Chains A and B, each alone.
Chain A
Amino acid sequence: MATYILKRFLQLIPVFLGATLLVYFLVFSLPGDPIAALFGDKPVNEAVAAKLRAQYNLDQPFIIQYLLYLKSIFTFDLGQDFSGRPIAAVLGEVFPVTARLAVMALIFEAVFGIAFGLIAGLRKGKFFDGTVLIASLIVIGIPIFVLGFILQFFIGVQLGWAKPTVSAAATVQDLILPAIVLGLASFAYVLRLTRTSVIENMNADYVRTATAKGLSRFRVVNVHILRNSLIPVVTFLGADLGTLMGGAIVTEGIFNVPGVGNRLYRAVLSGEGPTVVSIVTVLVLIYCLSNLLVDLLYAWLDPRIRYDS
């Protein structure tokens, strides 16, 4: 098991190098000169621009810029963004907010998705099942920004149950509505995945055996059906954590959440290479780690799976 985990960690190294190189190159190839853009409509002051280019290594060829950036990572100094602030500090501000949002969304989709999916699966073909299926189809079909605006307008503005945007502290309470919006689409997937899986397992031999040997309905459902049905769901949820962290740009925009998505969007627009790469790299690492966690969870959920070398 330990060897397996070590192996997986070693795999992170090429992923990390590849991701940073690729993203740095993409930002580098964005059209337009980021320093000239700082001047807006006004004429570019060449002396000032040259000084700034040198400060951000933008006067160097691509590969040198990239190597300098790598060097800055290994010295734990990620450089500065265009407003002269350390990028490490920027990461420290935005990631906790988005992590809170993503985890809340994940909890929402896991709890409600699995519960609704389980009930729908157990009552296959009944009224509840039909209603939930149609509702989830609608949720999957409507783009997230439409849902976001609708919920913001009705719940935030018309009914006044929640603030339409989050406050400066971005507290858990503020983030409830954004988390629901962020998690809605995945909620529908989790629901459908659980339902299908439950229906499949209900007809499995071991469930029939369990019922036949007189186990309570509660025990059959919880231990034999649900636990076995969770394997595909857990895979989905694990992969989804990374998606939620990185894919929160739209939701963060709608609810003005001061998180990763907002900062990333601004950094891309202004062509701040090191800021973009630093944020994306952390996102990639989170994605990889959550996948590792999922693989380890498999072993716990399904004892038939072993990670021996």
Chain B
Amino acid sequence: MRFSRTSKALGVAAIIALAATGCGGGSSNDSGSSAGDPNKVIIADGSEPQRPLMPADINEVGGGKIATLIFSGLVSYDPSGKPVNELAESIEAPDAQNFTIKIKKDQKFTNGEAITAKTFVDSWNYGAAAKNANLSATFFESIKGYDETSAEGSTVETMSGLKVVDDSTFTVELKQPESDWPLRLGYTAFMPVPSAALADPKTYGEKPVGNGPYKMAENGWQHNVQIQLVPNADYNGPRKAKNGGVTFKIFQNDDAAYQDLLSNNLDILQVIPTSALKNFKSDLGDRFIEKPYAGNQTIAIPEYLPEWSGEAGKLRRQAISMAINREEITKVIFSGGRQPAKDFTAPVLDGYSDSIPGSDNLNFDATKAKDLWAKADAIQKWDPNTAFTIAYNADKGGHKAWVEALTNQLKNNLGIKAEGLPFATFKEARDLATTAKLTGAIRAGWQADYPSLYNFLGPIYKTGAGSNDARYENPAFDKAISDGLSAPSVAEGNKAMNKAQEILLQDLPAIPLWYQVSQGGWSTGVTNVDYGWDGVPLYYNITGK
């Protein structure tokens, strides 16, 4: 039997148990306690990180999953999405603009280096500076001085808004008040990195050293094959590892991962593949989970297209929205794996409401949809030969099925031509959206980076915002959003965000379709599986049986 350094208490208990039974062998005897086997190494599914594992350079789930486990930031999110302090002692700002952050004392990286206020300031400056070309640099944009360091070709390496006060205190000045800014601090980009990382980012990205509940095993990253994490015995935050480590096996193909799960070669599969949605409940018995998470699916309709602009365009978008029977698609196509949308955000978020005025525009009503379409036609005639298209990427995500179902509903309920417009790759479809060359609607979806209503609204619908595929512009909406940001508290801010949503529900720059629901499963060898607010399993909590 191998003793991990997971938990001293459990270790002692195990020694007593061993002494009592006189067992010294390598048998996998059942400990009989509900806490499960603390030495069990969990085999989970992963994907090859797209970039080196430098927190500010991580931009996708493959790397994000690993980073969340090997790093501990100022805050982390509990399963319901509420921020909990990890390294932060306190984060305070009376005006939602000038933050004073105190960090806990005696915190260390796994290489022994102490974590101080300077560590954070250096890490964030590194992340934001243009010369370091980090994919997630934009996350620092609210901090004063970001524009100077992030400009193309800039050699400025520090943001003027960050100041070290003493070893455990630093201050952050934002460009403008942002009440939800502390909510973002659990995102990967804000994680601290040791000084070695800044000296030699290339080597560090291959063998990251963090401070989270896990650390990378010796030569743990076998590219395209697996990533092995072992518990970090020195971690003393709220996410203490309850198993002997997590090995992420890298899969190119979800179906292969599912077969592995069925034969217990894989302990936890984060997302059940589309091909198994019909039968996974009977395959797995009670070893599955269905839980909403902070993500949604929409179709964005660009207002720069003449037939979708102005009053007629608005009426048409309302008509499209009401001609969609979301209930039917979520049941038939997704077997309950999605929930019909009632707003532009997601139900797991703090401040969510399913009855914002105007949300009836998202209810199915074929008669009203026809009326609205006729009204729009009275203003500006729709050419019956043009088809309403929905662009989507066919390389992954299984979008074809729902796009077809949706276009069929539009054909039947509105009597217009409608069809899917598949693109071979994600980048091809994205290019059209970012260069404003769409010819119809495009599938859009948002997965929250941090649990906040603003994250679902500001970056997508504000005038000139980076992910504003619809090129939506409405000063009233922009105003409501900035009111929300400068609100003195998160709760006040949320109220204002929902006011802003009232405007969106009338204009419908994108048509909300449904909320994402995690559907995952686990093997017979593990227990205590739960998912977080972001649809990622809480790996640290999983134990062997």
State which of B108-116, B174-182, B422-430, B502-510 sits at the interface with chain A: B422-430
Q: Are B226 and A32 in contact (CB under 8 A)?
A: no
Q: Which residues of B contact A271 (CB under 8 A)?
A: 427
State which of A45, A253, A258 has its C-beta within 8 Å of the C-beta of B137: A45
Q: Are A256 and B252 in contact (CB under 8 A)?
A: yes
Q: How far is the CB of A207 from chain B (nearest CB, A)?
A: 49
Q: Which residues of A contact B447 (CB under 8 A)?
A: 41
A80 CA to B224 CA, complexed, in Å: 15
Q: How far is the CB of B48 from chain A (nearest CB, A)?
A: 7
Contact string, B352-373, partner A, CB cutoff 8 A, digits 1/0?
A: 0000000000000000000000
CB of A68 within 8 Å of the partner chain: no
Q: Are A50 and B152 in contact (CB under 8 A)?
A: yes
Q: Which A224-273 residues have a C-beta within 8 angstroms of B?
A: 252-256, 258, 262-263, 265-266, 269-271
Q: Which B381-430 residues have a C-beta within 8 angstroms of A?
A: 395, 424-428, 430
CB of B249 within 8 Å of the partner chain: yes
A293 CA to B435 CA, complexed, in Å: 51
Taking chain A's interface residues, is the majority helix, strand, or loop, or is none over half, making it mixed? Answer: helix
Q: Which B130-167 residues have a C-beta within 8 angstroms of A?
A: 130-131, 133-135, 137-138, 150-154
CB of B49 within 8 Å of the partner chain: yes
Q: How far is the CB of A98 from chain B (nearest CB, A)?
A: 12
Contact string, B169-205, partner A, CB cutoff 8 A, digits 1/0?
A: 0000000000000000000000000000000001001
Q: Are B467 and A51 in contact (CB under 8 A)?
A: no
Q: Which residues of A contact B351 (CB under 8 A)?
A: none
State which of A69-77, A120-128, A159-167, A183-191 sits at the interface with chain B: A159-167
Q: Are B252 and A262 in contact (CB under 8 A)?
A: yes
CB of B60 within 8 Å of the partner chain: yes
Given that A31-B428, A42-B466, A164-B265 are contacting pairs, would A253 and B223 also be in contact in the complex, using a CB cutoff of 8 Å? no
Q: Are A48 and B252 in contact (CB under 8 A)?
A: no
Q: Are B133 and A168 in contact (CB under 8 A)?
A: no
Given that A43-B465, A93-B224, A160-B263 are contacting pairs, would A34 and B251 also be in contact in the complex, using a CB cutoff of 8 Å? no
Chain A: number of interface residues, binned into ranges: 35 or more
Q: Are A94 and B434 in contact (CB under 8 A)?
A: no
Given that A82-B50, A168-B249 are contacting pairs, would A258 and B427 also be in contact in the complex, using a CB cutoff of 8 Å? no
CB of B310 within 8 Å of the partner chain: no
Q: Which residues of B contact A138 (CB under 8 A)?
A: none
Q: Are B51 and A38 in contact (CB under 8 A)?
A: yes
Q: Which of B131, B137, B257, B426 has the most CB of A within 10 A?
A: B426
CB of A37 within 8 Å of the partner chain: yes
Q: Which B443-499 residues have a C-beta within 8 angstroms of A?
A: 444-447, 459, 465-467
Q: Which B230-272 residues have a C-beta within 8 angstroms of A?
A: 249-253, 255-257, 259-260, 262-263, 265
Tell me the B residues contacting A by CB distance below 8 Å.
Answer: 48-52, 59-60, 130-131, 133-135, 137-138, 150-154, 202, 205-206, 222-226, 249-253, 255-257, 259-260, 262-263, 265, 395, 424-428, 430-431, 434, 444-447, 459, 465-467
Q: 9 A–B contact pairs at CB < 8 A?
A: A36-B430, A38-B50, A47-B153, A51-B130, A83-B48, A157-B259, A168-B226, A168-B249, A262-B224
